[in-house]
Amino acid sequence: MAMAMAKESVPSPNLHGLNHIRKPAHVFPGGRTIALMLTTGLLFVFLLSTHHRRATFYYPPMPTHISPQTTKAGHEDKICNLFNGTWVRDFRGLAYTNITCPTMPESKNCGKYGKQMDYVNWKWEPHGCDMARFEPQLFLNIVRGKTLAFAADSIGRNQMESLLCLLSQVETPTKVYSDTKGIFVTWHFRSHNFTLMALWTKFLVQASEREINGTVVEMHDIHLDKLDARLAANLREINILVISTSRWFFRKNYLYEGGKLIGCIYCSEDNITSFDVTTAIQMALRTALNNLSNCQECGLQLTVVRTATPAHFENGFWNTGGYCNRTEPVGEGEAMTTSTVEWAIRNAQVEEANTAQKKSNYRGQINIEIHYKTLQVEAPSKVHSDTNDKFVTWHFRSHNFTLMALWTKFLVEDSERDINGTASGTHDIHLDKIDPRLAANLHEIDILVISSSQWFIRINYLYEGGKLIGCMFCSEDNITTFSINTGIQRVFRTALNSLRNCQKCRLRLTVVRTTTPTHFENGLWNTGGYCNRTEPVGEGMISEVYQEIRNAQLEEVNRSQKQISHKGQMGIEILDVTKAMSMRPDAHPGIHLNNEWMRSYSDCCHWCLPGPIDMWNELLLSVLKKYGKDLQNQ
C-alpha cells in the first residue's frame, strides 16, 4: 500500500524480526497443501481520516479479470465483478463461532473480549449479481489432494485463520509444522489429503533489514528483481498460491536491481532517486509474478493476488492512540481518509495481475460437477508450530488436507538492522531474492496465497545483486529514494517470477491478495488511536497509499499473467479486497483482544473472527471453482 506522505509522519513501530526459521518437516505426500505467506499489517502506521464526510467515490474498474456468477436476474451466462459492491444487512447467522472453531486465535476472538457482535450481521453484495456463501465441503472437494499456500504478512495470515475456521466446520485439520515464531505454518486435512500453508514474506522479493550498531532500524534493502528465497524454496510443493504485499513498503526502504541501488522510498537523499510506494509495490509484484509464471519445476496451477486493504485508525496510529471503534460499514460515498494512495496501490496490483494473466494461454474456464454429501464437522489438528506460532501447520485428517502458515514480511529476503543489539525496525530488503523460508517450502505446496505491504511503511534499504540501490522513507546523501509502490511492485515481480519459473515446484495456483487498510482514528496504535465504529462506512475515497499499493499489486499480477505461455502452467489470480475492506472500520478487534504484544493498544489493522474477512475466502472459493477439475487432474 502506498501513500505519499512526509517522512516525519511515519512512526517507527516496534516490529519483530525473523529468526530461527526452518523448513517445515511434516507435509503429507500425495495430499494438497495450501500455504499463506504472512506479512504483518498489525503495525501499519498511517493515519486515516478522523471524520465521516461524504465524498465522490472513484473505483477504478478491474481491467480483465471478472468472475462468472449468477446474476440477480438468474442468468448464469452473464458475468459480474465480484469485487465491486457494497455491504448489506444479513441475519442468516454465523458460519462458525469461537466454540465451533478450535483454531481461532485469541487476538481475533473479539466477542470473547467484549466487542459487540453486530458487525457480523453484514454480507458483501456485488453490484448486479449474487455471491454464494462459503461452502466448506465444496472447497475441500475442490482442493482434495492439493497444497494451498498463503504468501503474505499477518493480514494474509488473518485470511488463513478465517479459512481454517470455515473449513473446520467440516474437518478439523492437524497442525503438522510451525517454526519457532509461528510465521511459517502448515496444516493438513487428512480426509481430503489437503495441505494449507502460511509463508511469511514482507515484500514478495528478497529484502534485508538494516542495522545500526547491532540494532534494527526498520529500514530494508529490497531487491526488486529477486523473488523471496523462502517463497521460491517452497514452490515445488504448492498447487495454489495466494499472494499479497503492501504494508511493509510504508517506511524508508532502499531499492535494488541487479545488486545495485536504484532508489529509495520515503527518503530525501542526494544522488538517490526517490520512488513512490506504488511503483515499488508494482515492481516487486511484477518480479514475483514473472518468477511464478516462468517456474519450470513448480506444481503451481493457480496464483491469486489479493489487493491491498486499508487500515481504519482514527485520531492516531496503532502506537499513538489511534482507534477503530465504528460499529457499522461505511457507505460508498463516505470518505474515511483524505488521499487515494491505497487505490493507486490496488490499481497497480490489478494491472500486474492482468498483465501476467494475458501472457498465459491458460484461462481456467472449467465446469465443475461435485457430488455433495452430508457435512460432518471435522476440527483440524495442529501438527506443527514454532515457539512464536508464526510457522504453523494444520491437518484435516478425514480430507487429507494440509493448511500452512508461513511468516514473511516482504516475500523476498530481508534482514532487520540492529542498533547496539536492539532491533531497529529498519530492514535491508533484497528485491531480487525470494524469501528463503518461503522457497524452502515450495516443493510441498499446491496452492499459494501471498500478500505483503505493511512492513514497507518505514525506513527500509533496497538491494539488488547484493548492492544497495535505494531506500524508502529516507533522506540520505547518495542514496536514491524509492516510493513504497515501487518497492512493493518490485517485490511482487520477484516473487511471482520465482514462483512461475520454479523447476521443482508443484504449484498449480498462486493467489495474490491486495492490500487492506487500517482504521485508526485520533492517533496511531501506540498514541491512543482507536477503532470503535459500529457500522460499515460508505464507498468513499480511501487513502491514496492503499489505492496506489493496490494498483501496483494488480499491475504486477497482470504482467505475470501475460507471461504464462501454455496450458497447464501455474495459474495466477487476484483477490481484490481493498475496496470492500476500506468500508469496514467496525470489524477490527480494537481493544477487544488478548495479545501480549498489543496490551493497552487498539488493533485497528487485523480483523475479527468471524467477520467480513470470511468474505475473502468466499472469493477464494469462487477462484478455486474455476480450477477445480484441473487441480484434481494434476
- For the record, the C-alpha cell of 311 comes out as 487500515
pLDDT for position 458: 87
Residues 6+ apart with CB under 8 A from 344: 2, 278, 485, 544, 545, 546, 547, 548, 549, 550, 551, 552
In this structure, what C-alpha cell is assigned to residue 313? Answer: 485508525
How many whole angstroms separate alpha carbon 411 and alpha carbon 409?
A: 6
Tell me how far CA of residue 342 lies from CA of 250, 462, 507, 543, 552, in angstroms.
Answer: 11, 22, 29, 5, 10
What mean pLDDT is predicted for residues 522-540?
83
**pLDDT tens readout for residues 424-437:** 889 999 999 999 98
Quick one: which of 444, 392, 453, 506 has its CA closest to 164? 392
Q: What is the pLDDT of residues 485-507, one digit of tens each?
A: 899 999 999 999 999 888 888 88
Q: How is the chain split into domains, by residue range?
A: 7-129+142-633
Backbone angles phi, psi at 107, to 5 degrees: -70, -15
Cell digits of residue 394: 494444520
> What digits encode the pLDDT tens for the residues 32-79?
666 665 543 322 222 222 222 222 222 333 333 334 445 554 544 456
Compute CA distances 109 → 7, 59, 536, whole Å: 35, 32, 20
Integer Cα distance of 190 and 104 in angstroms: 20
The pLDDT of residue 54: 25
- Residue-level pLDDT at 430: 97
Helix (H) or strand (E) holding 209: strand 185-212
pLDDT over 60 (residue 397):
yes
Give the residue from 244, 247, 309, 248 showing the smallest Cα distance to 517.
309
Among the listed residues 523, 535, 550, the one whose alpha carbon sits nearest the alpha carbon of residue 604: 523
pLDDT at residue 18 tops 70:
no
| pLDDT tens, residue by residue, 93-102 | 888 888 899 8
Q: Which residue has the cell 487505490?
A: 343
Stretch 196-210: mean pLDDT? 93
Between the CA atoms of 367, 373, 376 and 381, what dihedral angle is there, to the nearest 10 degrees? -40
pLDDT value of position 333: 58
| SS3 call for 280 | helix
pLDDT for residue 596: 63
The answer, yes or no, to whether residue 359 has pLDDT greater than 70, is no
Contact between 312 and 323 under an 8 Å Cβ cutoff? The reply is no
